[in-house]
Structure 1
Amino acid sequence: MTGFLFQLTFWLTAPFWALMIFAPTWSWTARIVSSPLIAVPPVAIYAVLVAGHVPELLTAVSSPELGSMRELAASAWGTSAFWAHVIAWDLLVGAWMYREGRRLGVHPLLMGPLLVATILVAPLGFAVFLVVRRLCDTPDRATSVVTHE
């Protein structure tokens, strides 16, 4: 069952990634990925995986040490829970990047590879996007976003 949930985690989020990468200008894409509910599938899988292991999980994360985290990751449920956690956060980061890219007018041919990079190596994809965002944003945009002026 754990192996199945591990595999299922990404496939439940793949449609959202596909929309952002392959149909970025479709009006429904923006509506769908603007909802934080897109992260519910991997979060639900995470909840199922950790349900029977809450004491072990709380022990490991309440005072994280390399050894306890290694033990957690060495278990099938721990690795699968970690994977669901990563997939949920990566999707939320990717959705934010997508929305910011649309707001700034970043071309889909640039955003697509950035989103793929985020799927594969999220911290690096995110870091590159922050550089792109900085280059595409105007110096006074921050106040205009807040004040709508």
Structure 2
Amino acid sequence: MWSALFSFVNIVAIAAWLVLAAAPRTPLVYSVILYLGVALLCLVYTVFFALVTTGQLDPAASPGAGQPGFGSLAEVQAIFQSQGGALIGWTHYLAFDLFVGLWISRDADAKGFGRLIQLPFLFATFMAGPIGLFAWLIVRERAARRTAKGQV
């Protein structure tokens, strides 16, 4: 079951990223990415987060893993000791990175950055979320200042 769910969330995320990178940026496309991509990943995360963290499904009960929780690094590590915990963690990354990629694309479009300029930031966000976001925040700063001054 966990392998099938892992494949499912990966397919959803990759499909949404491909649409974001290649499809025309219309309101319909943005809605598809937001609701059939981000929201669907959030739904999967919500359901399995509740089931795993309450111990109803695949509790993180590996010998010596400790009590799962969020109060210490050891408690967070205990969550990821199970396949269910790893799946919810991975789905969390996929959902938030896709949401950030969606924001980057909209922000870049609004500031006049072409698709080819956006692609490295989107790819970096897809592969290593905070790195792509950090790089975009650095690059967008000058464009944001120009836009604020009306020098577009």
- Aligned pair count reads 140
Instruction: Quote the Cα distance in structure 1 between the aligned partners of 2:141 and 2:115.
Output: 17
**Deviation sequence 1:96-125 (CA, Å, 0-9, x none):** 001000000111111011101100011110
In the superposition, the TM-score normalised over structure 2's length comes to: 0.78
* Structure 2 match to 1:13: 13
> Which one has a larger percent helix, Structure 1 or Structure 2?
1
**Which runs of structure 2 are paired with 1:44-55 in the superposition (5 Å)?**
44-55=43-54
Instruction: Quote the Cα distance in structure 1 between the aligned partners of 2:134 and 2:44.
Output: 28
Q: Does 1:125 align with 2:132?
A: yes
Root mean square deviation of aligned Cα: 2.6
The AA in structure 2 aligned to 1:6 is F
The AA in structure 1 aligned to 2:9 is T
Instruction: Quote the Cα distance in structure 2 between the aligned partners of 1:119 and 1:14.
Output: 9
After TM superposition, give the deviation of residue 31 of structure 1 in Å. Answer: 5.0
- Say which structure, 1 or 2, has more relative contact order (CA 8 Å, 6+ apart): 1
Q: Structure 2: which 5+ runs fail to align?
A: 60-67
Instruction: Quote the Cα distance in structure 2 between the aligned partners of 1:30 and 1:73.
Output: 32
For structure 1, which segment, 122-131 or 11-20, has the greater mean C-alpha deviation from structure 2 after superposition?
Answer: 11-20
State whether residues 42 and 87 of structure 1, in contact with CA within 8 Å, keep that contact through their aligned partners in structure 2.
yes
After TM superposition, give the deviation of residue 28 of structure 1 in Å. Answer: 4.1
Instruction: Quote the Cα distance in structure 2 between the aligned partners of 1:51 and 1:71.
Output: 16
